């Protein structure tokens, strides 16, 4: 409930109260005070106006991608997860065909979330998103995607959301939304380059993960055909244990284990190399014990692809945290999801806060120092372990694997474990720095609009970088924390700027070399 006195100057044709919420009006005034602002319809390519996507997709195997909201992750459109549609439907919807530099923005679901198209593909968008066509003469697409992911843009989009069952924003309103746009391309380029650097690190991280996987599979003489689902098979009585359910006795598990045994790969049970602790419930822990500041609680939804989403971790009362020392986390532990989406694993990085796993996660702690946690993580996420996890799981609606069966998972021991560990560690480092860079871009946009940093400072930093001098860039990045630019009580966003520049150079060299070899 709120009461807002709106002057006649702020009134529009909209008469719904939510349009005049104080936060929305405050944000609108900030954008107006910035000076340079334009409606979205004014800045996109005039030959490709803002439009929405395909309704009622005709799905079939093809080269024509359908980009849905779930295919837009970490500000980038991911084509490898897309569904595909018929050639006829693709041609009928060329109005929403994507090109490099276009921005896909959600107009349903998480309204306003934006991602950039970074590679050329035959692709169109789904009905719950819209495409903002690239127009390099007016704006830097990477700058615009940074702005669209700021809290300022989120507040603006929320003013225009309507509907109850399916909340969203219509195209007419989307086209009229105003965005602040620095007239200097140097400013846009400087901030946009942070997003481009994040893309570079992400591409490199993908290469590192692929290299680690190739080395692992070559070492165990892996054949992916063994885990291909089959309708039936035979299992000898000698292999049967005290569970007779079909899932436990999956043909795929026995074939996968049999392959490595045949290849003379040493297999070691997880319980012999890592201690395993997990909780079923947590002494009455409920959402009532969640607090605004306290020890972190890790659940399965907050980590993927080597990155823990620290921004969205819940925090619990310290007294509740202290009740369960056996599930406290420290650097080098491995978290393994055991409920819901089971079998996801991640190494816990260096942290400066009390941290524990929730009831859906098992904590794995090193006993055998020869088994590096990053190698273990890669094993757990590979099909060889995933097929074991799946076979040991119980439950239908909510799959679950108990501590007893986690302990029996078989880990391949190979000569090049350390090389694989190093690749996975560097993958995680690159992915986490990529996230930090995208965060830096949106916070710099907010700082610019709030007047905390000037256009001249950003222009000078960009010019210095082009001349090989990163001192001004360092000065700006050093003022960023996990709470924003010049924010109080925040932790540095970049703890080692030397390492950041070093990895960016390494990533560029690796990506360029890979492109030349293709």
For the stretch 130-165, pLDDT in tens is 999 999 999 999 999 999 999 999 999 999 988 766
Tokens of 111: 């309204």
Distance CA(31)–CA(181), nearest Å, equals: 10
HSE-up (13 A, CA, CB side) for residue 88: 4
Q: What percentage of residues in the chain have a pLDDT greater than 70?
A: 93
Name which of 289, 281, 274 is nearest 358 in CA terms.
Answer: 281
Residue with tokens 């391949």: 412
For the stretch 196-224, pLDDT in tens is 999 999 999 999 999 999 999 999 999 99
Backbone angles phi, psi at 183, to 5 degrees: -70, -25
For the stretch 243-284, pLDDT in tens is 666 777 788 999 999 999 999 999 999 999 999 998 766 667
HSE-up (13 A, CA, CB side) for residue 110: 11
| Ranges of the chain whose pLDDT falls below 70 | 1-13, 15, 164-165, 232-233, 237-245, 280-283, 518
Q: Is residue 467 within 8 Å of 429, Cβ to Cβ?
A: no
Measured CA to CA in angstroms, residue 357 lies from 12, 222, 262, 272, 344 at distances of 49, 32, 37, 22, 13
Q: Is residue 366 within 8 Å of 238, Cβ to Cβ?
A: no
Dihedral sign for Cα 134, 139, 142, 148, please: negative
SS (H, E, C) 183-241: CCHHHHHHHHHHHHHHHHHHHHHHHHHHHHHHHHHHHCCCCHHHHCCCCCCCCCHHHCC
Question: What does the pLDDT read at residue 162?
Answer: 84
Question: What does the pLDDT read at residue 15?
Answer: 63
Residue 276 CA, chain-centre distance (Å), reads 27
Measured CA to CA in angstroms, residue 201 lies from 111, 119, 147, 194, 333 at distances of 27, 15, 20, 11, 25
Tokens of 77: 């459109």
Question: What does the pLDDT read at residue 3?
Answer: 61
């Amino acid at each position: 409930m709120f009461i807002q006195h709106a002057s006649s100057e702020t009134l529009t044709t909209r008469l719904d109260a939510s349009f005049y919420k104080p936060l929305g009006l405050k944000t609108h005034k900030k954008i107006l005070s910035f000076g340079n602002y334009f409606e979205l319809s004014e800045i996109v390519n005039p030959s490709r106006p803002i439009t929405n996507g395909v309704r009622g997709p005709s799905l079939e195997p093809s080269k024509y991608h359908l980009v849905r909201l779930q295919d837009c992750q970490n500000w980038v459109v991911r084509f490898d997860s897309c569904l595909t549609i018929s050639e006829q439907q693709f041609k009928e919807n060329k109005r929403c065909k994507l090109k490099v530099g276009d921005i896909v923005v959600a107009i349903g679901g998480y309204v306003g979330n934006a991602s950039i198209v970074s590679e050329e593909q035959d692709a169109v968008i789904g009905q719950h998103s819209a495409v903002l066509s690239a127009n390099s003469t007016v704006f830097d697409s990477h700058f615009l995607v940074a702005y669209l992911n700021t809290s300022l843009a989120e507040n603006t989009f929320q003013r225009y959301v309507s509907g109850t069952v399916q909340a969203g924003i219509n195209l007419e309103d989307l086209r009229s939304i105003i965005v602040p746009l620095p007239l200097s391309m140097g400013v846009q380029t400087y901030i946009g380059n942070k997003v481009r650097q994040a893309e570079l690190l992400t591409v490199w991280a993908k290469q590192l993960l692929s290299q680690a996987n190739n080395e692992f599979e070559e070492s165990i003489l892996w054949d992916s055909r063994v885990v291909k689902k089959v309708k039936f098979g035979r299992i000898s009585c000698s292999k049967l244990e005290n569970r007779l359910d079909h899932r436990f006795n999956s043909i795929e598990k026995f074939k996968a284990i049999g392959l490595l045994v045949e290849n003379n790969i040493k297999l070691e049970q997880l319980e012999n190399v890592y201690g395993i602790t997990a909780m079923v419930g947590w002494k009455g822990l409920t959402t009532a014990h969640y607090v605004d500041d306290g020890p972190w609680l890790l659940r399965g939804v907050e980590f993927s692809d080597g990155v823990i989403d620290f921004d969205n971790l819940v925090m619990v009362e310290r007294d509740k945290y202290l009740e369960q020392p056996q599930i406290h986390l420290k650097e080098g532990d491995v978290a393994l999801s055991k409920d819901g989406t089971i079998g996801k694993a991640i190494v816990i990085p260096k942290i400066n806060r009390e941290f524990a796993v929730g009831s859906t996660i098992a904590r794995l702690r090193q006993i055998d120092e020869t088994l590096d946690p990053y190698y273990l993580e890669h094993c757990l996420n590979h099909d060889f372990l995933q097929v074991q996890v799946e076979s040991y799981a119980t439950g239908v609606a909510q799959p679950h694997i108990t501590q007893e069966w986690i302990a029996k998972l078989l880990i391949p021991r190979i000569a090049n474990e350390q090389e694989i560990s190093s690749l996975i560690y560097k993958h995680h480092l690159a992915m986490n720095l990529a996230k930090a860079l995208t965060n830096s871009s949106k916070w710099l946009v907010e700082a610019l609009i709030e007047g905390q940093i000037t256009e001249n400072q950003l222009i000078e930093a960009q010019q210095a970088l082009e001349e090989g001098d990163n001192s001004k860039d360092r000065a700006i990045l050093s003022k960023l924390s996990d709470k924003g630019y010049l924010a109080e009580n925040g932790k540095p966003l970049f703890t080692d700027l030397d390492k950041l520049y070093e990895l960016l150079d390494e990533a560029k060299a690796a990506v360029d070399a890979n492109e030349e070899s293709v």
